[in-house]
Structure 1
Amino acid sequence: MGTTVFWMLPLLLVMPVEVRESSDFHLAGDYLLGGLFTLHANIKGIAHLNYMQVPRCKDYDVKVLGYNLMQAMRFAVEEINNDSRLLPGVSLGYEMVDVCYVTNNIQPVLYFLAKENFNLPIQQDYSSYEPRVVAVIGPDTSESVVTVSNFLSLFLLPQITYSAVSDEFRDNSRFPALFRTIPSGEHQIKAMIQLITYFHWNWVIVIASSDDYGRENSQLFNEKLKGEKICVAFQESLPVPLGNKTLMPAEKRRLEAIVDKIQNSSAKVVVVLSLDLALYDFFEEAISQNVTGYVWIASESWSIDPVIHGISRIQQIGTFLGISTQNIPIPGFSDFRVRQTPTGRPETDKKHSGPTCNQECDTCPDTLKSYNAILTHSGDRVAYNVYSAVYTVAHALHRLLGCNAIGCAKDTVYPWKLLQEIRKVNFTLLGHRIYFDKNGDPPMGLEIIQWQWDTGHDPFKRIAFYNPAQQYLSNVATNISWNTPNNSAPFSVCSNSCQLGQRKKPMGLHICCFECINCPAGTYLNQSGDFECQPCPPHEWSNEGEAHCFRRRLRFLEWREPATLAVALLAGLGFLGTLGALGVFCADCWTPVSVLFNLCFTLCMACITVRSFQIVCVFKMARRLPRAYSCWLRYRGPYASAGLLTLLKAAVVAAHVLLTPAGLTVRHDPDDARAMTLNCNGHYGRALLLNTGLDLALCVLAFGFAYLGRELPTSYSEAKFITLSVTFYFVSSVFLCTFVSVYQGVLVTIFDMAVTVVNLLGISVGYFGPKCYLILFCPERNTAAYFNGVIQGYTMRKE
């Protein structure tokens, strides 16, 4: 029973501030809008929680931009009330509260949800509940939005924030009643990265405040850098001061260390992701340490802050670039915001409910006037976000109340019904379409601005535009004023770009830090940014450090080369020697020394082999195997053997040609990588071994038979000549085959030709030379009687 009674008890909100009829925070109307703005910002932390009371925001410094945004909401409400086309016959009112940075969120929310009598009943079903306001505009920071939305979502009370950029607000399951008129933080970070890429910076410093805003945006920045050629030199978090900007000694030393670390870094671009409160002491420290020549990239939270812009000598520390919402001028707003006395429509007959805590700011109007010039020149950026948020609620009410040109039905507006209409709004405001996508985000773009300090000019000059739909940075200005000695963009890279033909060798963990290494010979690199050199195509080559490959020059034996002349000379001598031997043998073909098997080299080797065998037959087989010897003579054994061996060689060569057809083959010259050689046989080494194999076998046989005849009479030294010739041929051929197996250059052809000529000379000089000498100078020994006598004498001695 007690539990049931508890759920029926109302919640009573006690307001400690007296009613002030002339307050700028309150305007009576048929339907009220709630507004949450930061008018005082110099308090942070949990110090106020030590006391069981709502913080007194007016005890701290005025936040000029916060009051300017509150004025934008007042201006929009009054403009709608004076417009007969929108909500005709219906008046809008407002209740606004100072959230005091992030310390005063719960009390205003309870105030907005309560009834006129400050009671908030605890019910089981709120579908028919009518809170004090129909929608809430604000607050500004993501941390505050989360707190407020957790309450408003329970009632499906529409909430439109004008400057909170957190991407977590895209989750409709967590924030079903939340909208925003500023692009998400993802687009802000993408615009920053594209700005950094545009100026070819890849070495940046990230400074973030040690709060939810700094942590979330720095994490998002690091995530979006994946795949980009941008590296973070280091990242630091700024201490956030407690009440009255108080910095503890440890925090002071930390600021000094951060600024000192920035000065010692080679990076010249600093991305500052922080709310404005943590930046005053930071920039004062940077100025005191005489920091110069840096580029400071501001997040949207402080990019157009007039107080930071007005810090003495801040322009000396470098160039300030920032991300901001579009500058859409609001006609009449500049005059309205400095107007002291509001001129709203007459109050309705509803009972006026007095202001709540933190609905006062006596110094706000005067402070705003002191900054009016810079606010006027800087344009209406975030102010338009508030302005469009109010118009969004008005258009949704217009549809919900069934308004026409005459009037509207002043029905009870339940929050969940108004929420459905806000999701469907689509209208044009000052030339720009206003609607929300499925994530509750608007189609608004972002501007890249540069800080200026020229009197009478826009202190936040637009230099580029970022379109969230296309995710592209465009219209980048060419007349950017860099706060550098030569007015040139600062250079912020970890390593200088490599030249063409050089690859990057990583240094450390950052891809932006590297040393340049020349590509080795045979590789090239004609694109910057690669860490590996590409190999040249098979028929091309490059020198070390080349950006392109060139075609290898074709190398061949030229007549003027010494090697060619030497081989040609040997070939000429061999040819002349062969002709001379041929002439001698033709003239004395009837003598015992002559041979007829000189058709080709193989035939010649076959003849030499048969001849060496025949020597053994004459001196040994004739004695031991007379019948075999007679058959050898009867069936012309020498001719038949030479013919069969020649036919065998012809069969081997024909089989190789048929199985391995000739084709043009390109080989790289190992002596000169810039050259290449052409070969008609791709398997030249295998062909050489195959063609030489039979000749080598014949050579071994000839050597063996000649060795068997080592005991022959000294007057008959033909066996010795055969041994000398075949030994010379065997050694040279083995050397050639070995050389071909380990070397594939143009010298193969030279050695092949040279060995062939030398072999021919060896046979001509070593074998046929003595015979020619015998024919020409010892004719008495070139007779059949002499040879027969030698044979008979050898036979008789053996017997």
Structure 2
Amino acid sequence: QVEVLPTFHRYEPEVVAVIGPDSTRLALTTAAILSVFLIPEISYEATLETLSLKRFYPSFLRTIPSDKQQVKAIFLLLQRFGWTWVALLASDNAYGRDGLDALYKLLTASDVCVAYRGIIPINKDANSPELHNLVRILKDVRVNVTIVFSNRQSVRPFFEVVVQRNVSGMVWVGSEDWSLAQTIWQVPGIQSIGSVIGMSVEKIDAATERTGRTEAGGGIRGSAQLDCTQRCTGCRSISTVPDMYDAQASFNVYSAVYTVAHGLHDLLGCASGVCSKGTVYPWQLLQKIKQVNFTLYKSHISFDANGDIRKGYNVIMWNWSGPSWSFNVVGTFSVNPDSLSIDQGKILWHTKDNQAPTSVCSKACQPGEKRLQQSRHRCCFSCVACPAGTFLNRSDLYNCQSCRLDEWAPVRSEACFNRTIEFLSWSDPISWALLTPTILLMLLMAGLAVLFALNASTPVVKSAGGKMCFLMLGSLACACSSLFCHFGEPTWHTCLLRLPLLAVCFTIFLSCVATRSFQIICIFKLNVRWPALYEAWQRRKGPVLFIAASTAAQAVLCLAAEATSPSVPRRDYGAWAERVVLECGPIASASRTAASAYTVLLSACCFALSYAGKDLPASYNEAKCLTCSLLLQLACSATVLCTQGALRGQVAAVARVLSSLCTLGALLGGYFLPKAFVILLRPHLNTPEHFQMAIQRYTRRLAA
């Protein structure tokens, strides 16, 4: 008859702690039952992550790390060697399937792709069609790295089939259950399968490992001395036992026994020298076991809140370089925080150059190339260069991102760069090369004005137009000053003055030239046929009216241009990819073209009038010089009109300034410099007698 107690608070069981069992499947059952009674259960083999759930298994602890840590270690190992194209295999039990699911979940959340997931059937031999089909699929997926999360019983026939089907040159990543199992490395021909790298629970030096030997009055070897009454007889060094003996499992058992001993030692107050004889309840012992913290042969023993031991893994690698099988510890995985360290010098790969094999579906793209996914696996892709104006952000390898408006990027770029702001700066060497002749030209105009003012009563100055010369020189100087508006960062004022100042002042000069040429033609050619024409021209103030009307027409065109399309500073982002052009816009419009065309038309009129007077007396004939000057001015104007849409930025500003300089210099040189030459170097030609003789020779030539 079973007596049902009202509470377990004072329940005195025959057993206060359980060590074991040695499998995950059995531990799931015992942990569920013992947790009802809060009897501490310390497993040395069960690694299933589910057992860490204290809601279901409050009294379960273990001296072997959880599979959760092993999965993290394998994941970090894959990342360490850049293996992104792998296959996952697991045994058909709770250990394998749970490890497979946890690892798959972690890999799919990263940049590692799982080419194939397979289950190794249990209780099969090397003749099993299922195993042969599994290996065939593994060869077809063409991966170089396969992770085998399995127990040792299931994985042996699998590797027998791998050897039979001549699968070689691969990397096999093993879980801790089989990576050091003797039954696996004894498979005939397994040396040919490639490199085997696996996980192994952290071990202490086997030469110092001893099973629990105690001496009467000596206590347990550890961080605390226990007053025990039993003697261990027949205890041996673990390193002297046969190979079949699982040294690591033995040390896990050893650690579990010491854990219970330390819990009892603390619960009974043995630290004072005398242990209490009171009743030990399982739930009391459970609390003490959770708090143990001691060192056992250089191995630290303590548990976290989930009852998992704070212990990492060794990364081991099989070594066939000697006469028999051995392994090297090539790295370690530590917890809290999780970290993996690998000693590359200890690794012996199966490759000819002893370099780590690669396992990728597609080779990495070149910098600045995005990935174009070709299948459901994101690791399988083709590479497409990011076009100009876009860049590849390393956080998103599948899309090229556009640069901002004030940035640029070349083809295959991984970053955007600030665009250079371009304008004709005052400090640029080309600016100084243009400003120097501009200033010299203005000084020359001022000098000519002074020279003509000092010789205003001479025939040369009078024939050049008299007082009109000063208006012409002033307009040229004003037009020359407009060139300064092309230098420096454009502002609203410089953009507004640039076109009207040049066009209006240039129109005044051309109008004066046209008026003077027309008057001379009237005097020498038209006065014979229409004698009243010149008289009416002078009486009605024709020169003033023509100059004023012509200038007013140009002013109206300039005002219309500013009204319809105001010239304001603007940034042109479309001229060049790497530069932003800071200019006055718009560059070309119908009204601005009309203002320029009006100047060209007026130049053509001046050219026609000058050419018509080519046979006049030499003192009044500037046809040669003025014709060449006007031809140069027409050529420069035509060049500016034709290239104003093609040239942009600094080049366009230089072209406009250079064209204006050439025009102004040519007109100044063609009209005023010959007269200055006569005044300064040929004073005998600057007399009324010389002019009278020239007129008489012209009259006689006409009469003849």
Using the alignment, how far apart are the partners of 2:639 and 2:325 within structure 1?
89
Structure 2 match to 1:321 = 197
1:206 maps onto 2:79 in alignment:
no
Distance 1:737 1:776 in 2: 45
Q: Give the counterpart letter for 2:21 in structure 1.
A: P
**How does 1:249-260 map onto structure 2 within 5 Å?**
252-260=128-136
Deviations 1:140-193 (A, max 9, x none): 443432222221111111111223223333322221111111222222112112
Partner of residue 74 from structure 2, selected from 192, 207, 218: 192
Question: After superposition, where does 1:204-353 map in structure 2 within 5 Å?
Answer: 204-225=86-107, 228-241=110-123, 245=124, 252-328=128-204, 329=206, 331-333=209-211
- Which of 52, 63, 66 in structure 2 is aligned with 1:170? 52
One-letter code of the match for 1:214? G
CA offset digits 1:360-411 (Å, max 9, x no partner): xxxxxxxxx9x954346xx732321111111111221223334367654444
In the alignment, is residue 413 of structure 1 matched against residue 280 of structure 2? yes
Q: Summarize the alignment of residues 564-579 of structure 1 with structure 2, pairs less than 5 Å apart.
A: none
Structure 1, gaps ≥5 residues long: 1-8, 11-120, 337-343, 348-368, 653-658, 710-714, 717-721, 769-774, 787-799
Q: Aligned partners of 1:456 and 1:544: how far apart in 2? A: 53
- Name the residue aligned to 2:508: 606
The change in CA–CA distance for 1:733 and 1:701 in structure 2 (over 3 A counts) is: closer
Q: Deviations over 1:718-770 (max 9, x none)?
A: xxxx9xx99998997587357434541665256436754786699899999xx
Q: Distance in 2 between matches of 1:750 and 1:637?
A: 36
Shift of 1:218: 1.9
Out of 748, 771, 778, which is 2:652 matched to? 748
| Structure-1 residue corresponding to 2:295 | 428
Moved more, 127-136 or 522-531: 522-531
Other-structure match for 1:464: 331
Distance between the aligned counterparts of 2:12 and 2:212, measured in 1?
35
| 3-state DSSP of counterpart to 2:317 | strand
Superimposed CA distance per residue, residues 32-86 of structure 1 (whole angstroms, 9 cap, x where no aligned partner): xxxxxxxxxxxxxxxxxxxxxxxxxxxxxxxxxxxxxxxxxxxxxxxxxxxxxxx
Percent same amino acid at aligned positions? 29
Question: For the aligned residues, what is the CA RMSD?
Answer: 6.2
Shift of residue 416, structure 1, vs aligned partner: 1.5
Aligned residue identity for 2:333: Y
Question: What does residue 9 of structure 2 align with?
Answer: 127
* Residue in structure 1 matched with residue 36 of structure 2 by the alignment: 154
Q: 374, 380, 387: which is aligned to 2:243?
A: 374
Q: CA deviation at 1:433?
A: 2.7
Residues of 2 paired with 1:778 and 1:212: CA distance?
Answer: 125
Task: Determine the C-alpha separation between the residues in 1 that align with 2:587 and 2:423.
Answer: 22
- C-alpha displacement at 1:292, in angstroms? 0.9
Partner Cα distance (2:143, 2:69) in 1:
24
> Deviation per CA, 1:282-315, whole angstroms, max 9, x where unpaired?
1121111011111111112222222223222222
Alignment of 1:482-631 (within 5 A): 482-485=349-352, 487-498=354-365, 504-516=371-383, 590=462, 596=469, 597-599=471-473, 600=476, 602=502, 603-609=505-511
Give 1:598's aligned amino acid.
M
TM-score w.r.t. the length of structure 2 is 0.64
Distance 1:740 1:640, change over 3 A: closer
Matched, 1:438 2:305: yes
Secondary structure of the residue that 1:399 maps to in structure 2? helix
Determine if contact 2:365/2:383 at 8 Å carries over to the other structure: yes
Distance 1:639 1:609, change over 3 A: closer
The amino acid of 2:47's aligned partner reads V
Alpha-carbon distance between aligned partners in 1 of 2:323 and 2:52, rounded to the nearest angstrom: 40
User: Does the CA-based 8 Å contact 1:542-1:550 persist in structure 2?
Assistant: no
Q: Which residue in the other structure is 1:39 paired with?
A: none
More displaced stretch, 536-545 vs 134-143 = 536-545
Q: CA 1:521–1:182 in structure 2 vs 1: closer, same or farther (change >3 Å)?
A: same
Alpha-carbon distance, 1:202 to partner = 2.5
Equivalent residue for 2:259, pick from 378, 382, 392: 392
Q: Which residue of 2 aligns with 1:43?
A: none
SS at match of 2:331: strand
Q: Give the 3 Å change call, closer, same or farther, for CA 143–538 of structure 1 in structure 2.
A: same
Question: Distance in 2 between the 1:523 and 1:346 partners?
Answer: 78
Q: Is the 8 A contact 2:260 2:289 kept in 1?
A: yes
Structure 2 Cα separation of the partners of residues 211 and 184 of structure 1? 16
SS at match of 2:243: helix
Letter in 1 for 2:314: E
Q: Distance in 1 between matches of 2:693 and 2:44?
A: 123
Q: Which has the higher mean CA deviation after the structures are superposed, 260-269 or 695-704?
A: 695-704
Q: Is the 1:204–1:267 contact (alpha carbons within 8 Å) kept by the matching residues of 2? A: yes
For residues 36 and 212 of structure 2, the distance between their equivalents in structure 1, rounded to whole angstroms, comes to 38
Shift of 1:705: 11
Residue identity opposite 1:148 in structure 2? T
Give the alignment of 1:665-676 within 5 angstroms. Answer: none
| C-alpha distance in structure 1 between counterparts of 2:546 and 2:423, whole Å | 45
Deviations 1:253-299 (A, max 9, x none): 33222212222333211111122332222112111101111111111
* Cα distance in structure 2, aligned partners of 1:261 and 1:139: 36
| Paired residue type of 2:279 | T
TM-score, with length taken from structure 1: 0.57
Q: Contact conserved, 1:142 with 1:165, CA < 8 A, in 2? A: yes
Question: 2 CA distance for matches of 1:153 and 1:731?
Answer: 103
Aligned-partner Cα distance in 1 for 2:18–2:321: 38
Alpha carbons of structure 1 residues 777 and 307: separation in structure 2 relative to 1, 3 Å: farther
Does the 8 Å CA contact 1:450/1:463 hold for their aligned counterparts?
A: yes
| 8 Å contact from structure 2 (residues 196, 317) kept in 1 | yes
Contact 2:388 2:408 in 1 (8 A): no
Aligned pair in 2 of structure 1 residues 540, 289: CA closer, same or farther (>3 Å)?
same
Task: Structure 2: give runs of 5+ residues left out of the alignment.
Answer: 215-228, 233-237, 425-429, 480-501, 527-531, 561-566, 610-614, 617-625, 673-690
**Greater relative contact order (CA < 8 Å, ≥ 6 in sequence):** 1
Query: Per-residue deviation at 1:548?
Result: 12
